[in-house]
Amino acid sequence: MLQHDRLFIGGDWVAPAGTGTIEVISPHTEEPVGRVPDGTPADVDRAVAAARWAFDHGPWPRMTMAERAAVVGRLADLYEARQGEMADLITSEMGSPITFSRMAQAPQPLGMLRYYAGLGATYEVEDERPGLFGPVTVRREPVGVVAAIVPWNVPQFVIMSKLAPALVAGCAVVVKPAPETPLDSYLLAEMIIAAGVPEGVVNIVPAGRETGEHLVSHPGVDKVAFTGSTAAGRRIGAICGERLKRCGLELGGKSAAIVLDDCDLPSAMGFLSVACLMNNGQACVAQTRVLASRGRYDEVVSAFAEMVAAQRVGDPADPVTGIGPLVSARQRDRVEGYLRAGVEEGAKPVVGGPGGLAGHSRGWYVSPTVFAGVSNDMRIAREEIFGPVLTVIPYDDEDDAVRIANDSDYGLSGTVWTSDTERGVDIARRVRAGTYGVNIMNTLDPCAPFGGFKASGLGRELGPEGLASYLEYKSIARLG
C-alpha cells in the first residue's frame, strides 16, 4: 500500500496542518491501496501563499514563454518515461480498465504536455496593431494564481488540461485532487521536482469538498479551473461570480450517438463500444443516448445488446477486462438507483438491469445495461448516470434525430454514424455540442478546444484557446 504523510507545497514535502487522512480504496477488492493526508483550509492557505509568492516575486512569470515551454518539455520527457507506472496507479485507485489507462489515462496527459511545450515555444505574447491615434501593443500576460479542482474519473487528463497551459502561460497553480484519486498526483509531483519547475509554481493538496470550497473562495486565487458535476459547477460559478473571479467550468454531459440508416453497423460497433462504455461509462463525453431510426430500431438494439453482453467484466488490472468496477460504493448505489428508475419508467433492460452483477460479491460492480423502449423524457435519458448504462431511443427521420439530440440540458459531445461523411458533417453542424465525431469518437485532440454548450460548462480547454484562457489581455496605446 502506498502511504504518503506529506503535502507538496512550495516545492517541498511539508507536514500537513491536520491529522486527518484519506484512505484510497480499490474499487475491485474493497481493500486499501493508499493513504494520504486530508488537506485542511490551513493547508490551502499555505499552498495559496506559496503560489502567490511564486507568481508575485518568483522567476516563473518573468521567464519568456519559450523558456517556460522548455521546462514543460522536460516534464513531458519525465512523464513519458513513467507513463506505464501512471497507468497502473490510476487503475488501482479508481478501477479504470488497464487497457483504457494505457490507451488514454496516461498517454493523453503526455500529449497535452507535448502540445503546449510546442505551442509555447513559438507563441507571440505581443502584437502591434494600428490604432486611431497611434500604434497599439496588445500584450498577453498570465492570469495569476490558479486553483485547479479535478474529479476522480480521468484524474491526470483533467489535471494536465489545466496545468500544462497554465504553466506555459506563466501562472502558479494549486491542484486539489479528488479524495478518491489522490495517488497519481504524488507521482506527478515527483516529476515536477525533477523537471526543475521553480518552488511554489505547483502545489498539490488532496482534500474533500469543504476544503475545496475554501480554495475556490480564497482571495489569493485569481482563477478557478474546475471539472466535475454540473451541480458543483453551479456552486463554484456562483462563488466566482460574487467575487468577479475568473473561472472555467467543464461539467456534465448526456451525449447522443445518432445511428443513421446507411450506417454499416457491424463495422461501427468497435468504435461505438469505446464511445459508449469508455472508462466503465464514467466519462462526461460518453455516448449514453443511442438514437436509432424506427426502421432499424430492433436491429440497433440487438447490436448494442450483443456488444455489451460480450464485454468481459472484472478485475481492471486484467488486460482482457472491458468493464471494471465503479469508483466507489456511493457511485455504484447511484447507478443502481438509475437502473431501478429506468424499469419503473417503463424502459426494458435487454441486457443487464438492476440488482448487481452475478458472481461479484466483492467490488463495486454494476451490471452493464442496455435499455430499449426509452423515450427522451425519461430520467435515464436526461440525467447523467456515469456508469455503463445505455439508452436506445427511436427517431422518425433525420430532423427528428437532431431534435432529440438537442433536447437536453447538456451539450458536451456527440457522434453520428453514417456511410456518407459529408452528411455526417452536416448533422454535426446542427447539433449543439462542443465536441463532435463523424464515424469516430472525438478523442479530445490537444490541438482543438474542448468544452460544452448549455449546462455542460463555461469556457474551453485544450488548443490555443486553452492557453488563452490562462492569459489576460493588456492594450498599450502610445502616440508616435
Edge-to-edge strand list for the sheet holding 172-176: 12-14, 7-9, 202-204, 172-176, 145-149, 223-227, 246-250, 457-458
Length of the chain: 480
CA distances to 179, 291, 305, 439 from 251, rounded to whole Å, are: 18, 23, 29, 24
- Strand-pair category, 410-411 with 21-25: unpaired
Choose, from 180, 213, 250, 336, the residue flagged as catalytic.
250
Choose, from 171, 213, 284, 461, the residue flagged as catalytic.
284
Catalytic annotation present for 250: yes
3-state secondary structure of 47: helix
Selection from 293, 47, 27, 267 nearest residue 149 by Cα? 47
> Exposed, middle or buried by CB within 10 Å (0-12, 13-18, 19+), for 360?
middle
Selection from 315, 332, 335 nearest residue 28 by Cα? 315
3-state secondary structure of 324: coil
Question: Which residues touch 104 (CB under 8 Å, ≥6 apart)?
Answer: 154, 157, 278, 279
Catalytic annotation present for 461: no
CA distances to 20, 194, 445 from 15, rounded to whole Å, are: 12, 21, 38
Question: Which residues touch 57 (CB under 8 Å, ≥6 apart)?
Answer: none
Residue positions annotated with a catalytic role:
250, 284
